[in-house]
Amino acid sequence: MSGNQTTNVTGAVTSGFATFGSQVVFIDNGTYEAQFWAQTTDETNVWFLKWNSAGSSQTDSTPVAIKITAPSN
């Protein structure tokens, strides 16, 4: 696995993200989408955070919600 990526991937979208309540969403033509997925890596407790525009099931991945608030204890 490589280190942190500091440049945009070709075709990457960097605008259109907003918050809906405390959740991060993407607004596409007025539709709110939340399609973040966490995919396993070869390193323990390290995950790839990916955007899954199709919203379909992904191998070794699980859907996640990105929130702007910390979980309560």
> For residues 48 and 39, is the Cβ–Cβ distance under 8 A?
yes
> For residues 73 and 26, is the Cβ–Cβ distance under 8 A?
no
CA-based nearest residue to 32, from 15, 22, 19: 19
d(CA 39, CA 55): 14
Rg (CA), the chain: 14
pLDDT, tens only, 14-55: 889 999 999 999 999 999 999 999 999 999 999 999 888 777
Q: Is the pTM of this model over 0.75?
A: no
d(CA 30, CA 7): 28
The answer, yes or no, to whether residue 2 has pLDDT greater than 60, is no
